[in-house]
């Protein structure tokens, strides 16, 4: 059975559009998001807060008032969830 090349093109365009939406939704420079994931990957224990995340955001002088709600919207309610949920969704994009 032959695949419809037009359908495949439409699917590819839709996937690219969805990826672009994800990228533009990130409320911080992409060059700061990867270090956040790497930093949190290195913590040995999560106290079920965003303490470590807030620490890194403050060190990099990033707007936590914009970034924390975005992290939470994407499943990052504590440091370990940022790595488990947000990095899982956005890690390959940055």
Q: Please check the confidence at residue 1 and state whether its pLDDT lies above 70.
A: no
Number of domains forming the structure of the chain: 1
- Domain carrying residue 51: 5-93
The pLDDT, as a whole number, for residue 47 is: 96
Query: Is 13 exposed, middle or buried, given 0-12, 13-18 or 19+ CB atoms closer than 10 A?
Result: exposed
Choice among 2-11, 57-66, 79-88 with the minimum mean pLDDT: 2-11
> Which percentage of the chain shows pLDDT scores above 90?
57
pTM of the model: 0.79
User: What SS3 state is found at 12?
Assistant: helix
Question: What is the C-alpha to C-alpha distance for residues 61 and 58, in angstroms, rounded to an integer?
Answer: 5
Q: What is the pLDDT of residue 16?
A: 85
């Amino acid at each position: 059975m032959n695949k419809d090349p037009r359908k495949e093109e439409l699917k590819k365009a839709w996937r690219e559009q969805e990826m672009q939406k994800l990228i533009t939704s990130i409320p911080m420079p992409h060059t700061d998001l990867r270090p956040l994931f790497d930093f949190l990957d290195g913590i040995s224990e999560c106290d079920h807060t965003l303490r470590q995340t807030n620490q890194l955001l403050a060190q990099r002088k990033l707007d936590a008032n914009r970034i924390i709600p975005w992290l939470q919207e994407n499943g990052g309610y504590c440091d370990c969830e940022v790595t488990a949920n947000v990095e899982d969704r956005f890690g390959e994009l940055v």
